[in-house]
């Protein structure tokens, strides 16, 4: 997941604390995106939604800000510091 976020992840700022993370899924069908979101929910207990983007029949997965701490716990040990900004963090 660290590689996926490093490549296709985008931090989405929010008022009142850190925001969420959107993961582009442009090369996947809706059924595949639904499957990926289910895995994120069941395996990592992440609160996420599927969002339709501006491209025809293309979707992204949005990990909500209430799950950002759980995402940090899963990803940070494997994420290069140069990619911390993808989670809305400063590199140390």
Q: Which domains does the chain have, with CATH numbers?
A: 2-87 (3.10.28.10)
- Contacts with 3 (C-beta within 8 Å, 6 or more apart), sequence order: 78
**Percent of the chain scoring above 90 in pLDDT:** 78
The C-alpha angle with vertex 28 and arms to 2 and 72, in degrees rounded to 5, equals 20
- Contacts with 32 (C-beta within 8 Å, 6 or more apart), sequence order: 25
Output the pLDDT for position 8. Answer: 93
Determine the average pLDDT of the residues in 6-32: 90
Determine the average pLDDT of the residues in 59-68: 95
């Amino acid at each position: 997941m660290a590689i996926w976020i490093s490549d296709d992840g985008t931090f989405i700022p929010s008022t009142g604390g850190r925001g969420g993370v959107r993961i582009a899924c442009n090369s996947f069908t809706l059924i595949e995106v639904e499957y990926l979101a289910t895995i994120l929910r069941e395996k990592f207990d992440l609160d996420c939604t599927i969002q339709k983007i501006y491209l025809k029949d293309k979707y992204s997965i949005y990990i909500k800000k209430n799950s950002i701490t759980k995402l940090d716990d899963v990803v940070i040990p494997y994420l290069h510091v140069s990619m911390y900004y993808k989670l809305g963090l400063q590199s140390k």
